[in-house]
């Protein structure tokens, strides 16, 4: 792989343009992925926020569900934000009947854990590997209820006296409950681009 990896953004919903721009600023060649031929070109994939059940259904419609699942299982680096975290989780709480994920993270995620749209919030968050806090934006965000032994917790927030996990990494798969593409701080994307390299 070159020092400028090709990183796709699953481009059916969410902040696709913002992720593409952040990846480019971090030294990757970023491409929108809606077809198998586009996925085939990628060294890694970003799964943006949106609505996780809709994104899974659209992945089926575009005949990308199994190819994405297979590539992640075979070791392709992946980064999920918000709904993307849900799509990378091996287990979901609060999901709809039959909800599917690509898997790749040994975690149990709770959908809409922080509440409804009106409960969205933002704040500064310490993230492992970064010297200064990240301004994190949470929109109808999930959190991680349980993480397996191979999962490294990168960040958590306190909610009602309990620490809730909101960023993790397992091998070459990384995920956040918040939206690092919002704003002008590209350091979380930078962590992922370094992971891909």
CATH of the domain at 40: 3.40.50.880
- The dihedrals phi and psi of 15, each to the nearest 5 degrees, come to -80, 60
Q: Pick the catalytic residue: 82, 93, 152, 158?
A: 82
Q: Tell whether 155 is covered by a domain.
A: yes
Mean pLDDT lowest for which of 60-69, 94-103, 143-152, 168-177? 94-103
Average pLDDT, the chain: 93
Q: What is the mean pLDDT of residues 35-49?
A: 97
- Cα 176 from Cα 197, distance rounded (Å): 20
Q: Tell whether 190 is covered by a domain.
A: yes
Share of the chain above pLDDT 70, in %: 96
Mean pLDDT lowest for which of 18-32, 35-49, 92-106, 162-176? 92-106
- The most confident of 1-5, 48-52, 74-78, by mean pLDDT: 74-78
Q: Pick the catalytic residue: 18, 26, 42, 179?
A: 179
CB 148 within 8 A of CB 124: no
Q: Tell whether 184 is covered by a domain.
A: yes
Q: Tell whether 161 is covered by a domain.
A: yes
Q: Tell whether 34 is covered by a domain.
A: yes
pLDDT the model gives residue 109: 96
Q: Pick the catalytic residue: 18, 19, 42, 181?
A: 181
Q: Please indicate whether residue 26 is annotated as part of the active site.
A: no
Does 118 score more than 60 pLDDT? no
Q: Tell whether 1 is covered by a domain.
A: no
pLDDT the model gives residue 59: 96
- Cα 134 from Cα 142, distance rounded (Å): 18
How many distinct structural domains can be found in the chain?
1
Question: What global pTM score does this model have?
Answer: 0.94
Q: Please indicate whether residue 189 is annotated as part of the active site.
A: no
- Cα 176 from Cα 121, distance rounded (Å): 15
């Amino acid at each position: 792989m070159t020092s400028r990896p090709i990183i796709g953004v699953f481009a059916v919903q969410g902040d696709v343009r913002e992720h593409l721009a952040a990846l480019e600023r971090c030294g990757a060649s970023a491409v929108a992925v809606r077809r198998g031929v586009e996925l085939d070109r990628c060294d890694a994939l970003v799964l943006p926020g949106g609505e996780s059940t809709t994104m899974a259904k659209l992945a089926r419609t575009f005949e990308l569900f199994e190819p994405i699942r297979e590539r992640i299982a075979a070791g392709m680096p992946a980064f999920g934000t918000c709904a993307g975290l849900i799509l990378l989780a091996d287990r979901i709480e609060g999901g709809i009947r039959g909800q599917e994920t690509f898997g790749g993270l040994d975690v149990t995620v709770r959908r809409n854990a922080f509440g409804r749209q009106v409960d969205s919030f933002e704040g500064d968050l310490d993230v492992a590997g970064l010297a200064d806090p990240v301004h994190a934006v949470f929109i109808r965000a999930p959190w991680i209820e349980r993480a397996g032994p191979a999962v490294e917790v990168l960040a958590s927030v306190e909610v009602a006296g309990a620490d809730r996990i909101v960023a993790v990494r397992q091998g070459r798969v990384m995920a956040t409950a918040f939206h690092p593409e919002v704003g002008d701080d590209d350091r979380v994307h930078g962590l992922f681009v370094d992971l891909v390299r």
